[in-house]
């Protein structure tokens, strides 16, 4: 029986207010889009079962409030994250400029064991708006920033139209899984042996 640590993958979605964090999460999990989402207060999460190489995982996707003022809450929500998704709106330069703040804030508050290699994924959302004519952040610019931060995977999506959302989250899940496994190697103590009827080495084979 695999331990909880191995089956639950925790993902945090961060980014400025109104870039579409809740919409992305809902599009991925529920395949739905609504114009009526309310601003997220506090935090919430959705879960989705994902399969990799015959193994089932629960992806726990955390949606948080986007206003900077609420960042002090992060410490409670970010801990134990396996992957962090940074979202910006391709029609808003400020939301892109803020990616760096979000990334740094996350690393400070989540304090992952290996910050250099902690997996991030960047999403440029709302590519559908105005047929792309109101776009102010070019893909090139975004990719350049991602490259400079240790080759962060980059996706451009439309949560409204469901474009590229599945692909982005596939990548997110894969990275989270990798991160989880690495963490296991580094921190074997976090394995919950109490719940495991078999030695760890063979646990994942079940």
Partner 1 sequence: MLESELHDLSDDADYAASQQQGSASMMLRSDSTKQNSPRDGAEVVFSKENVAIHPTQFASERISGRLKLIKQSSSLFMTWIPYKGHSSEARLSDNERNLYTIRAVPFTEIRSIRRHTPALGWQYIIVVLASGLAYPPLYFYSGGVKEFLATIKQHVLLVRSEEDANVFLVNDFQNTLQRTLSSLELPRAVPLACGPSNMSVDESILNENQERADNDVNNGSSSVTHFHRRPRQKVDPARDISIQVLEKFSLVTKFARETTSQLFRENQSNGFSERRTPIQTNLDHPRRSSHVEENTSDESCHALDSQEFDNLSLVWGKPRQPPLGSEEWLIFLDSEGRVTDSEALRKRVFYGGLDHELRNEVWGLLLGYYPYESTYAEREFLKSVKKSEYENIKNQWQSISSAQAKRFTKFRERKGLIEKDVVRTDRSLPFYEGDDNPNVNILRDILLTYSFYNFDLGYCQGMSDLLSPILFVMDDESEAFWCFVALMERLGPNFNRDQNGMHSQLFALSKLVELLDSPLHNYFKQHDCLNYFFCFRWILIQFKREFEYEKTMRLWEVLWTHYPSEHLHLYLCVAILKRYRGKIVGEGMDFDTLLKFINELSGHIDLDATLRDAEALCICAGENGAARIPPGTPPSLPIDDGSVYAQQDEIL
Rounded alpha-carbon distances, angstroms, from residue 199 to 2, 5, 186, 192, 194? 10, 15, 17, 11, 11
Other C-beta atoms lying within 10 Å of the C-beta of residue 156: 20
Q: CA nearest 10: which of 69, 58, 113, 82? A: 82
Q: Work out how close the CB of 118 gets to partner 1 at its nearest, in angstroms, rounded to a whole number.
A: 20
Q: Work out how close the CB of 167 gets to partner 1 at its nearest, in angstroms, rounded to a whole number.
A: 27
Nearer to partner 1, 43 or 129 (CB): 43
Question: Pattern 67-86, binding to partner 1, x per CB under 8 A?
Answer: xxxx-xx--xx---------
Nearer to partner 1, 72 or 117 (CB): 72
Q: CA nearest 23: which of 129, 107, 105? A: 129
Q: Does 48 bind partner 1 (CB under 8 A)?
A: no
Q: Work out how close the CB of 50 gets to partner 1 at its nearest, in angstroms, rounded to a whole number.
A: 18
Cα 10 to Cα 165: distance, rounded to the nearest angstrom: 18
- Scanning residues 20 to 39, which ones bind partner 1 (CB under 8 A)? 35-39
Q: HSE-up of 134 (CA within 13 Å, CB side)?
A: 10
Chain residues that interact with partner 1, rule: CB under 8 A: 17-18, 35-39, 41-45, 60, 65-70, 72-73, 76-77, 94
């Amino acid at each position: 029986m695999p331990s909880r640590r191995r089956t639950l993958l925790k993902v945090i979605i961060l980014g400025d207010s109104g870039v579409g964090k809740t919409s992305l999460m809902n599009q991925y999990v529920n395949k739905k889009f609504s114009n009526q989402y309310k601003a997220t207060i506090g935090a919430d999460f959705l879960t989705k079962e994902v399969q990799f190489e015959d193994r089932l995982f629960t992806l726990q996707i955390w949606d948080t409030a986007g206003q900077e003022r609420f960042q002090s809450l992060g410490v409670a929500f970010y801990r134990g994250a396996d992957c962090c998704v940074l979202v910006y709106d391709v029609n808003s330069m400020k939301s892109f400029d803020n990616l760096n703040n979000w990334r740094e804030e996350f690393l400070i508050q989540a304090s992952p064991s290996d910050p250099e290699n902690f997996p991030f994924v960047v999403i440029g959302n709302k590519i559908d708006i105005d047929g792309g004519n109101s776009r102010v952040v070019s893909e090139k610019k975004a990719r350049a920033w991602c490259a400079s931060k240790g080759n962060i995977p980059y996706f451009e999506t439309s949560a409204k139209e469901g474009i590229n959302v599945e692909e982005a989250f596939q990548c997110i899940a894969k990275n989270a899984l990798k991160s989880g496994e690495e963490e296991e190697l580094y921190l074997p103590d976090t394995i919950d042996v109490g719940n495991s009827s078999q030695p760890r080495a063979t646990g994942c084979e079940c």
